[in-house]
């Protein structure tokens, strides 16, 4: 597996035109409530789309669910697009924007404390924030929504692009 830095990752993403199907492994703060375990980290693996039209994805999902919709998304409320619908810069940090259909939820999630000790989801569930579905999507009648997530480059451990997996160094 090849290791690339964040600058090289930006270059790779910018070279790929249109929507990118990417596999990600991320390590993020779960933003848990005060708990006896300390900071709870969430390691996730999944496949999603980067660079896809959010509005089109929501309207397609509405059609799959038997709804007629003309969903209109909002503007980016923080940061600025370096590459529209793919890369955002905010306060001198880089972020990758991905979206997931209801069938693409993370396929593997592991929780750990700061020392690396594994924590069972059942044990920490009362401390985790609830998963929030999009109110705008629910307003048009979607039961299962398109999830949009923005990952700091610092949280991306591995990324798979065009069949090649890269370890991302800080």
pLDDT digits (tens, 9 = 90+) for 83-96: 999 999 999 999 99
pTM above threshold 0.95: no
Can you name the residues that pair with 48 across neighbouring β-strands? 22
DSSP 8-state secondary structure symbol assigned to residue 105: S
Q: What's the Cα-to-Cα distance from 161 to each of 52, 66, 97, rounded to whole Å?
A: 15, 33, 14
User: In this predicted model, which residue has the larger pLDDT, 105 or 9?
Assistant: 9
How large is the average pLDDT for residues 111-136? 92
Query: pLDDT band at 143, cuts 50/70/90?
Result: confident
Query: pLDDT band at 144, cuts 50/70/90?
Result: confident
How large is the average pLDDT for residues 46-56? 92
Mean pLDDT in the chain? 92
CA distance 70 to 61: 11
Phi/psi of residue 68, each to 5°?
A: -100, 125
């Amino acid at each position: 597996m090849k290791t690339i830095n964040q600058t090289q990752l930006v270059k790779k993403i910018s070279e790929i035109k249109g929507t990118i199907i990417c596999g990600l492994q991320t390590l993020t703060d779960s933003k848990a409530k005060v708990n006896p375990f300390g900071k709870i980290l969430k390691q996730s693996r999944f496949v999603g789309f980067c660079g896809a039209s959010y509005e089109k994805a929501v309207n397609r999902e509405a059609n799959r669910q038997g709804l007629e919709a003309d969903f209109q998304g909002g503007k980016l409320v923080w940061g600025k697009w370096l590459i529209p619908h793919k890369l955002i810069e905010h306060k001198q940090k880089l972020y990758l924007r991905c979206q997931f259909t209801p069938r693409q939820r993370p396929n593997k999630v592991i929780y750990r404390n700061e020392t690396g000790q594994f924590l069972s989801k059942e044990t920490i569930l009362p401390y985790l924030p609830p998963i929030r579905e999009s109110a705008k999507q629910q307003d048009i009648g979607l039961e299962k929504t398109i999830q949009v997530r923005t990952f700091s480059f610092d949280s991306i451990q591995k990324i798979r692009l065009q069949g090649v997996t890269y370890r991302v160094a800080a």
